[in-house]
Structure 1
Amino acid sequence: MNSAGFTSQIVAKLLGVMLFGTVLSAATPAHGTSTLLCKGVVACLLAGRSDAGYAALGIVSYWNQTPGHNCTNYLAYRLTHGGRLVARPPGTGSAYTWGDAARKSGVPVNDSPRVGAVAWWTAAAIGNSSGHVAYVEEVRADGSIVLSEDNLTGDFDWRHLTRGAGWPSGFIHYPQSDGSPFGTFDSVSAPLAGQIDFWGTSSDPDGFLLVVPVAPSYQVTLGGPRGTPGVESFTFTTPYFNFHRTRGVTTRGPTTMYLYALNTLLTKGHDVLLGSRPVTIRDASTTTAAMVDATITAATVPRIKVTLAPTTAAGRVDIVRGTTVLRSFTFASGGTRTFTLSLPYQVRGTHTIYARYVGSTRHLPSSAKVTLTVS
């Protein structure tokens, strides 16, 4: 460039600053370019562009993704093979979820490509309902990138991509894992007597037997962390990243559940405590009831006999007609008691009355229905 041209550019920039307070850089081209470099495993190999062994090993699922021609399974394979060891963040499902799931787990997602990063497109950016992910193989001096990818409705390929329309929504920079399981303890409840119901997510990034993923194993302790004397403990295995289990247990009352993901034997890493949560595990109760006199006159005071079982059950029992609580009383322990309702001059007709045990920290609620006829 000659000096006159250079001087004119400086003057133009100075005028821009004077008029607008800033200088706008050149706009990014509206449309990027996507150039196919090779298509199909054999053609790419002949072109010196490898699939990293996925054609032979992609028949199995990685990160619980769909095997075979599929962008997410290919990326999960690349992230757990060939020296890579990445833990799957919770919430990583279809391709469009990958970026948000990574962010929620503290994994950097930005617009800076790097070799080994995951190029990620949202569903809107790629124009389908699933989104897309690809592996960054090369970052060129001009800022363009070379990607390898597989496709659910297509084939394996490599392509060259420049900035503009069609550029990835972000680049996910997963950290290297030490091989330990990674996941969450989502919830636990005890809706049925003597049973816990819990949900979680986890995977072991190097949990493979040769090349086939091994179903991860877990340990549960109730009443304290493992190693604590007297805790109830059990283990289980599930092949799924997201898991839901129900289990009968002997522990009763308020307690704390600890959930551990067990590291796959003979692999890197260690067992991990996914979390602990409080839960109250209760026994069933049974309430039975009968009117002492099933038929009374309007001037008769009704009496009701209530039995609460088992004997360890304790707490309040309400006698209810419609929405009205006729009387409440407390059982110190299970057994049978008779109560006067103290309601003379009953309305003639047939009445439905309930005896309702409200439950306790050890026993679930229960109820019984009786019928009283007032003549």
Structure 2
Amino acid sequence: MRHAHGPVRLLGVVVALITTMWAAPAQAALTVLCTGFTGCLTVGRTDSGYANVYLQSFWSMKPGHNCTNYVAYRLTHGRLVARPPGTNSALTWGPAARQAGIRVDDVPAVGAVAWWDAGVSGASATSGHVAYVEAVLPGGVLVSEDNLSGDFRWRLMTRLDGTWPSGFIHYPESDGSPAGELTAVASPQVGRLELWGSAMDPDAAGDNRTYLVSLGGPRGTVGAEAFTFQSEFFRFRRLHDVSTRGPTTAYLYALNTAGTAGRDVLLGHRPVTIMRSSTTRASFVDSTITRSRHPKVRISLAPTQASGTVDVMRGTTRLARVTMESGTRRTVTLPRQRKGRWAIKVRYHRTTSFGSSSRTVYLRVR
């Protein structure tokens, strides 16, 4: 979105301008005080070095002229602020901060982030807007900001000019430790662990993070299985082969970048059942029968804890479906079959605990 910005050079001029605007009707025009990196610097209004690096990404935001990338730069240069999970396009900044326990209110403060929800006070109807609070004055606030498909600028806003934000986000200073969360964990295949999460390190160059996973207990637990992986993205999905099987707990740590302030951080832990392989066992009571008889097939599963749905198939035709309980054996009577030799597949469907398996047995019908 595009918002006007700009500070005033002298405090007396600022106060006089604010006094005038307090008497103006709501929805007055934006008070732009300067535009462009060079234009603002010429009148003494700094971009804090953003002009030299604005084509780089900060907090994994879209580089270039972009409100979120500029504010992310200000939060990570000259101070350390960790990116809360869920902080994406501008409209998400307020809700993500609240979800992370960060104060969001209507009280401006120097260094806070002015945040506009989608469509509020001229903000983009699809993405919202954010700006950096430079000064708080009687009746007004000075912000600097950048704009997607626009330019860097400073501006003045008051409660009466129709530009007041949805709230001010008061991010706490970070000690330099990584921050993020373990979003979900699953086992989609036998012996495979899948993790979803997000993290960033506020004082590390670049976005490549190193993570440590411990299965069966916290890091350092005797007998726990551990491995590390890297991701260059704030949000990640990781699929990894593991030797652990059955119910366990996955612990995810974001490792602090070597040579920077901070410490390793536990992002979360969640229970998960690592899928085990299964074996389907099947045989006919009589493998050779006449057309007048019903075939009967014996079915069992290994290990004995396996349970779930089993289909008996002849090609694409399902002859029977049964539910197997743990440790049970079933003898299933099938429909009569035509004369011939038939390959009958007995197929066990996967569950959250056990992978699928099948066995093909042969029946001769005279």
The verdict on a shared fold, with TM-score over 0.5 as the criterion, is: yes
Matched, 1:140 2:137: yes
Change in 2 beyond 3 A, CA 1:67/1:361: closer
Task: Indicate whether 1:198 and 2:191 are aligned.
Answer: no
Which residue is equivalent to 2:232?
239
What is the deviation of 1:28?
Answer: 9.6
CA 1:218–1:300: 2 relative to 1, 3 Å: same
Unaligned 5+ runs, structure 1: 1-25
> Quick check: 1:224–1:257 contact (8 Å CA) kept in 2?
yes
In structure 2, relative to structure 1, the CA distance for the partners of 1:276 and 1:316 (3 Å cut) is: closer
Aligned counterpart, 1:250: 243
**Counterpart amino acid of 1:172?**
I
SS in 2 for 1:74: helix
TM-score for both structures, normalised by structure 1: 0.79
User: Quick one: distance in 1 between partners of 2:42 and 2:71?
Assistant: 22
Counterpart for residue 114 of structure 2:
119
Conserved? CA contact 2:307–2:323, under 8 Å? no
Q: 1:112 to 1:330 in 2, by over 3 A?
A: closer
Matched with 1:4 is none
Using the TM superposition, give the Cα deviation of residue 169 of structure 1 relative to its aligned residue in structure 2, in angstroms. 1.4
Give a deviation string over 1:130-185, Cα, whole Å, max 9, x none. Answer: 211111111111x2111111111111111111223222111111111111111111
Instruction: Return the alpha-carbon distance in structure 1 between the equivalents of residues 219 and 307 of structure 2.
Output: 36
1:168 maps to what in 2? 165
Cα pair 1:258 1:276 within 8 Å, conserved: yes
Q: Give the CA deviation at 1:30.
A: 2.4
CA contact (8 A) 1:146 1:161 kept: yes
Query: Aligned equivalents of 1:128 and 1:54: distance in 2?
Result: 26
Distance 1:133 1:298 in 2: 77
SS at match of 1:269: coil
Residue 235 to residue 175, structure 1, CA distance change in 2 (3 Å): same
Structure-to-structure mapping, 1:145-294, within 5 angstroms: 145-164=141-160, 165-208=162-205, 213-287=206-280, 289-291=282-284, 293-294=286-287
- The answer for unaligned runs of 5 or more in structure 2 is 1-21, 313-317
3-state SS of paired residue (1:137)? strand
Paired residue total? 334
Answer yes or no: is the 8 Å Cα contact 1:286–1:367 preserved in 2.
yes
Instruction: State the TM-score, normalizing by the size of structure 2.
Output: 0.80
- In the alignment, the residues of structure 2 paired with residue 127 and residue 362 of structure 1 have an alpha-carbon distance, to the nearest angstrom, of 47
Q: What secondary structure, in the 3-state scheme, does the structure 1 residue paired with 2:119 have?
A: helix
Report SS of the residue matched to 2:94: helix
Mapped partners of 1:111, 1:305: distance in 2? 71
Change (3 A) 1:92 1:244: same
Distance change >3 Å, CA 280–CA 340, structure 1 → 2: closer
In the alignment, the residues of structure 1 paired with residue 105 and residue 173 of structure 2 have an alpha-carbon distance, to the nearest angstrom, of: 18
**Alpha carbons 1:114, 1:138 under 8 Å: kept:** yes
Which of 343, 357, 361 in structure 2 is aligned with 1:366?
Answer: 357
User: Shift of the alpha carbon at 1:353?
Assistant: 6.3
Change (3 A) 1:278 1:323: farther
C-alpha change, 1:269 and 1:32, in structure 2 (3 Å) is farther
Percent of aligned pairs sharing the same letter = 52
Q: How far apart are the structure 2 equivalents of 1:361 and 1:136? A: 50
Q: Aligned partners of 1:317, 1:153: CA distance in 2, in Å?
A: 56
Map of 1:7 onto structure 2:
none
Please give the alpha-carbon distance, in whole angstroms, between the structure 2 residues aligned to 1:287 and 1:240.
41
Cα–Cα, structure 1 residues 257 and 326, in superposed 2: closer, same or farther, change >3 Å? closer
Larger Rg: 1
Paired residues of 1:194 and 1:251 also in contact (CA < 8 A): yes
Give the Cα–Cα distance (whole angstroms) in 1 for the partners of residues 289 and 229 of structure 2. 58
The more displaced of 257-266 and 360-369 is 360-369
